[in-house]
Amino acid sequence: MTSTTFLRPWQALTSAATATAALLVAFVLAPAALASTRATTALGSESNLIATFRTAFVSYWHTGNADFGAELRPVVDYWFRYHVAKALLAAALLAVLIALGVLSWQAFLRTSGLRAAALAASGVLSTALAVVSLAAVMANIHGMAAPFGSLLPMLFGKPNASAGPLPDTLAQIRQHLADGQNSPALDVIRSDYVKFHAVMAIEGTLVVLVLVLLSVLLWRGFTRTDRSERRPRRLLAAYGVFTPLLALTLAVIVFANATTAAHPLPGLESFFAGGW
C-alpha cells in the first residue's frame, strides 16, 4: 500500500469531520438569518419572537377570524421559513454524519491500537449525533407542516406572562374547550395541533420502517460474515441491537402522536392548562 493510498481514507475522514463542524455551527446560527426578511429581522431574537407572537396571538384570538391577519401572518411565515432552513441543514448534517460514521468504522476495521480506539470513538460519536440530527429533521418537518401549531408552546414558559391580556386569553380558550364551544380561531388552533401530531406520526412510521429494514440487513450481514471475522461481526451485532431499540423507541413516540391526532381534545385541554 502506497502512502498516497493510505492517506486517502484519512483525508475523507478529515473532510467529513470538517463538514460536520461547519454544519453544526450553521444549524445553530444560520436559520434565523435565512428566515428573516426586512420586515421580520427582529424575530431573529428569541425574546422578540416570543413577545411578538404572544401579542399577535391575543389580537388574533379576539378578532375571532380564521385568517391570521396582518399581525400574526408574518410571524407564522417567518417560523415556517425558519423550520425549512433548520430541516435542510439538519438533513445535510445527517448525511455527512452517516458518511463520517461509515468511514470511521471502515477505517477501524483496517487498523488497530490507539488509532483503532480513536476511530471507534469517532464512529460512536457520529452515530449519536446522527440520531440527534434525525430527530432534528423530523421535528422541523412537522414544524414546517404546522408552523402555527409549533409556535403555540411559546405562549407558556419564560418569560412568564402573569400580567396583561395573555392570561385572560388563555383562560377563554380553556373555557371554550371545556364547554365544547367552537370559533374560527379555535378551529385553526385545533387543526394545526392535529396536523402537528399527525405529521409526526406519519414521518415517524416511515423512519421506523427504514430502521426495521436496516436491522434485517445488519443481521443478515452478521450471519453471512465468517466467524473468524470477529471485529466485523461484533460491529454488525452492536448496530443490529441498537437499530431495533431505536425503532422501538420511535414506535412508542409514533403511537403517542397518532393517538393525540385522533383524539386531540384531551391533549389540547392539557396543553392550554400549561401541560406542554
Spatial separation of the C-alpha atoms in residues 203 and 218, rounded to whole Å: 23
* 134 and 228 share one domain: no
* 188 and 127 share one domain: no
Spatial separation of the C-alpha atoms in residues 166 and 59, rounded to whole Å: 10
* 17 and 143 share one domain: yes
Whether omega before 184 lies within 30 degrees of 0, making that bond cis, reads no
* 195 and 150 share one domain: no
- Residue at which a domain ends, from 142, 157, 172: 157
Cβ atoms < 10 Å from Cβ of 60: 25
* 126 and 3 share one domain: yes
**How much is the pLDDT for 210?**
97
* 87 and 205 share one domain: no
* 127 and 187 share one domain: no
What pTM, to 2 d.p., does this model score? 0.89
Model confidence at 162, in pLDDT bands (50, 70, 90)? low
Which domain, by its residues, includes 225? 183-276
Mean pLDDT for 19-45 is 91
Dump pLDDT digits (tens) for 177-203: 988 888 899 999 999 999 999 999 999
- Cα dihedral: 218, 221, 227, 232 (round 10): -60
Model confidence at 161, in pLDDT bands (50, 70, 90)? low
Does the pLDDT value for residue 276 go beyond 60?
no
Mean pLDDT for 29-43 is 90
* 236 and 273 share one domain: yes
Spatial separation of the C-alpha atoms in residues 39 and 52, rounded to whole Å: 13
* 187 and 222 share one domain: yes
Dump pLDDT digits (tens) for 201-246: 999 999 999 999 999 999 999 999 988 888 999 999 999 999 999 9
Does the pLDDT value for residue 176 go beyond 70?
yes
* 232 and 149 share one domain: no
Model confidence at 3, in pLDDT bands (50, 70, 90)? very low
* 28 and 124 share one domain: yes
- Please enumerate in sequence order all residues whose Cβ is within 8 A of that of 14, keeping only pairs 6 or more positions apart, or say none: none
**How much is the pLDDT for 258?**
96
Does the pLDDT value for residue 7 go beyond 90?
no
Count of domains in the chain? 2
Lowest mean pLDDT among 108-122, 149-163, 192-206, 252-266: 149-163
Mean pLDDT for 152-176 is 85
For cell 452478521, the residue is 222
